[in-house]
Chain A
Amino acid sequence: MTEPGRQAVVRVEHLSKHFGAGSARVDALIDINMEVFPGQVVGLMGPSGSGKTTLLNCMACILEPSGGRLTLDGEAVYDEHWLKADLRRLRLDKIGFIFQYPNLLPFLDATDNVAVVLHLAGFGAAAAHTHAVELLDYLEVGHRKHAMPSQLSGGEAQRVAIARALANRPRIILADEPTAPLDSARARIVMDLLRRIAIEQSAAIIVVTHDEMILDRFDHIFRLRDGRLETATGELSLLPVGAG
């Protein structure tokens, strides 16, 4: 799946993660190799407990892997240990995260929930506000810009959360079951939206999902089983992707 002439935005090499030690040791990820390219929307699927969330969190620099290498947007981030001191800044600059639940700050209205990220990135108040409103309009929730999170419907809140994930124009967007709280029509709308964003911002989008209904919306699907990636044909991938 290497696409010549394009550099992977997310590159995972021999990544492993285990929890605990001794008899309590759980190998959540074993020798994971994958690449995601600009403009791609890929799915991450697998049975419960197969390691999807663990892998996503490692890519989000929220969880420290146990070994391997991680390269984000051309920058080596992890190589047996973190290479960056300020992971939060890294997340702010490179990664947009869409939670399964919107996770909006309850004390800020829709606009400010988006603007807060711009604010953290150093935008002035006026610029942050303008850009936030633009994003809400783009996601078709502009009419709810003054609403508090408690006043938003599930779908509206999720779109505000997506606007927040997009605010800093991240090259990488990670989403953990973003369509789970939505009905299938809305789920498709969100997926189409992600596709549009991937193309327009040449971002790499990785979506963890259980939802078989939206399989056709992905460029590629990575399947996890017991911490290992399956190949497209269903066999376990034992060779690093793109080797040779």
Chain B
Amino acid sequence: MNLAYRDIKHNLLRFVLTNFGLSLLLGIVIMMTGVYGGLIDDALRQARAANADLWVVEAGTNGPFAESSRIPGDTRELVSRVYGVQRAGSVTYQSVQTELNGAPHRLFIIGFEPGRPGGPRQLSAGRDILRDHYEMIVDRSAGLALGQEVPLGTHDHKFSVVGLMQNEVTSSGDPVAYVTLHDAQALQFELAPPASRREQARGGSVETNDQINAVIAKVSPYVPIDETAAALSRWKHLTALTQAQQETLLSKFVIEKARKQQLLIMVLLVIVSAVIIALIIYTMTMDKVRSIATLKFVGAPDRTIIGLIVQQSLSLGITGYVAGLALVFLFRPFFPRRLVFDPESVVAVFAITIVVCLAASTLGIRLALKVDPAEALSAAG
């Protein structure tokens, strides 16, 4: 005979309502792990999309994502000649604001050299960029259709959408768009601050305009990457980062702040859940004081009483967690950000829930153990 279960069944409506509230709370905790997972995944995706072995960036910087990096446009030729480098491609990165269907949109523009490393990884629709100008491949989340025209830059050149990608967004959730390196550099020049633009237009040569953010290199499988990286870093104005270093930088610097915020919110939510569970268990125990006194009176050991409370606390936590998980997956498609769940964090939230339930039940247990069996004799009831 399971007393915990019987008592829950007896007060089923209250249990279900309490459970619903708790599941919302736990659902938010689970969702936060999804948001965080999405954040990391988006950031890393961006770095992985380039499919690089080495990132050649401005000397002394953690570019191109964690810090800005500017290197001359001819760096790619330099890199290509280094021992071990099989292929290399220049890339630029910039955020632009544009107006789409009457609403402002941010796009993360990646300029690349078609046919060289750094281009889009996989298209879900349409084709690759074939012409040198005014074609674009964009993530579906921008809400653009194939063939649609997008005005970019101050001259409002119309870029036509030729290809679509899936799940290519930045860590801040902006859709990624690929254009040719030439178009990207022209945009960069147009959108640069007017003063420097004037400066460049007046005195600067064409080369000053020809700047890129990084060179992406593929290295021969027969040459150690570190060796090639060391060779590249011998140039005073360049630094070479391996893909692994780039990913570490991204997860460390770029999303560090967001991570801390999320962690804080999650810790707060867990504390709130703990307080709520503790209060629920406490009041559930309060309501049962007379039954507990009677049980003790007829001879129930403390083990039985503690079991009753702990089991109720755990069933509250477990069903609340499962309902919360169900809610999250039910509403996942409607969430404005991509949620990515790695099994470990889902399991971790479950483990935390269990620990919180056990901790929260101590309050109820303390109360229950203090109940005097003689209370069963009092007249009320």
Chain A hits for B297, CB < 8 A: 62, 91, 97, 103
How many angstroms between the C-alpha atoms of A117 and B295 in the bound complex?
Answer: 9
Chain B hits for A91, CB < 8 A: 297-299
How many angstroms between the C-alpha atoms of A108 and B376 in the bound complex?
Answer: 16
Chain A hits for B18, CB < 8 A: none
Q: B299 touching A89 by the CB < 8 A rule?
A: yes
CB B200 to nearest CB in A, in angstroms, measures 81
Please tell me the number of chain A residues within 8 Å of chain B, measured between CB atoms: 31
- Does A241 touch B at the CB level, under 8 Å? no
Chain A hits for B336, CB < 8 A: none
- Does B338 touch A at the CB level, under 8 Å? no
Chain B hits for A10, CB < 8 A: none
Contact residue among B1, B373, B381 (Cβ-Cβ distance under 8 Å from A119): B1
Chain B hits for A121, CB < 8 A: 299
Given the known interface contacts A57-B374, A107-B11, A125-B1, the answer about A101 and B379 at a Cβ–Cβ threshold of 8 Å is yes
B260-309 interface with A by 8 A CB criterion = 290-291, 294-301, 304
Chain A hits for B291, CB < 8 A: 105-107
Contact with A along B313-357 (1 / 0, CB 8 A): 000000000000000000000000000000000000000000000
Tell me the dominant secondary structure on chain B's binding face.
helix
Q: B299 touching A88 by the CB < 8 A rule?
A: yes
Chain B hits for A120, CB < 8 A: 298-301, 304
Q: B377 touching A99 by the CB < 8 A rule?
A: yes
- Does B7 touch A at the CB level, under 8 Å? yes
Q: A99 touching B376 by the CB < 8 A rule?
A: yes
Contact residue among A57, A100, A103, A117 (Cβ-Cβ distance under 8 Å from B299): A117
How many angstroms between the C-alpha atoms of A125 and B379 in the bound complex?
Answer: 32
Q: B379 touching A100 by the CB < 8 A rule?
A: yes
Q: B301 touching A88 by the CB < 8 A rule?
A: yes
CB B375 to nearest CB in A, in angstroms, measures 10
CB A135 to nearest CB in B, in angstroms, measures 14
CB B73 to nearest CB in A, in angstroms, measures 78
CB A44 to nearest CB in B, in angstroms, measures 15
CB A96 to nearest CB in B, in angstroms, measures 9
Q: A89 touching B6 by the CB < 8 A rule?
A: no
Q: B301 touching A89 by the CB < 8 A rule?
A: yes
Chain B hits for A101, CB < 8 A: 379, 381
Most buried by B among A53, A91, A125: A91
Q: Which residue of chain A lies nearest to B296 when distances are taken between CB atoms in the complex?
A: A88
Q: Which residue of chain B lies nearest to A57 when distances are taken between CB atoms in the complex?
A: B374
CB A112 to nearest CB in B, in angstroms, measures 6
Q: B294 touching A105 by the CB < 8 A rule?
A: yes
Given the known interface contacts A107-B7, A107-B9, A112-B1, the answer about A164 and B379 at a Cβ–Cβ threshold of 8 Å is no
How many angstroms between the C-alpha atoms of A120 and B304 in the bound complex?
Answer: 9
- Does B202 touch A at the CB level, under 8 Å? no
Q: Which residue of chain A lies nearest to B6 when distances are taken between CB atoms in the complex?
A: A107
- Does B257 touch A at the CB level, under 8 Å? no
- Does A116 touch B at the CB level, under 8 Å? yes
- Does A92 touch B at the CB level, under 8 Å? yes
Chain A hits for B290, CB < 8 A: 103
Chain B hits for A99, CB < 8 A: 376-377
- Does A31 touch B at the CB level, under 8 Å? no
Q: Which residue of chain A lies nearest to B293 when distances are taken between CB atoms in the complex?
A: A103
CB A78 to nearest CB in B, in angstroms, measures 16
Q: B1 touching A115 by the CB < 8 A rule?
A: yes
- Does B10 touch A at the CB level, under 8 Å? yes
CB A111 to nearest CB in B, in angstroms, measures 10
Chain B hits for A108, CB < 8 A: 1, 3, 6
How many angstroms between the C-alpha atoms of A89 and B300 in the bound complex?
Answer: 8
Contact residue among B9, B10, B299, B377 (Cβ-Cβ distance under 8 Å from A53): B377
How many angstroms between the C-alpha atoms of A136 and B5 in the bound complex?
Answer: 24
Q: A92 touching B374 by the CB < 8 A rule?
A: no
How many angstroms between the C-alpha atoms of A137 and B52 in the bound complex?
Answer: 82
Chain A hits for B294, CB < 8 A: 103, 105
B2-34 interface with A by 8 A CB criterion = 3, 6-7, 9-11
How many angstroms between the C-alpha atoms of A53 and B9 in the bound complex?
Answer: 35
Q: Enumerate chain B interface residues (CB-CB to A < 8 A).
A: 1, 3, 6-7, 9-11, 290-291, 294-301, 304, 373-374, 376-377, 379, 381
30 A-B interface contacts by CB (under 8 A) = A53-B377, A62-B297, A62-B373, A62-B374, A86-B301, A88-B296, A88-B373, A89-B299, A89-B301, A91-B298, A93-B299, A97-B298, A99-B377, A100-B377, A100-B379, A101-B379, A101-B381, A103-B290, A103-B381, A105-B294, A106-B10, A106-B291, A107-B3, A112-B6, A116-B1, A116-B295, A120-B298, A120-B300, A121-B299, A164-B298
User: Beyond A91-B299, A92-B299, A120-B299: 19 further Cβ-contacts under 8 Å?
Assistant: A62-B373, A62-B377, A63-B374, A88-B299, A91-B298, A92-B298, A93-B299, A99-B376, A103-B297, A103-B381, A105-B291, A107-B10, A107-B11, A115-B1, A116-B3, A120-B298, A120-B300, A120-B301, A121-B299
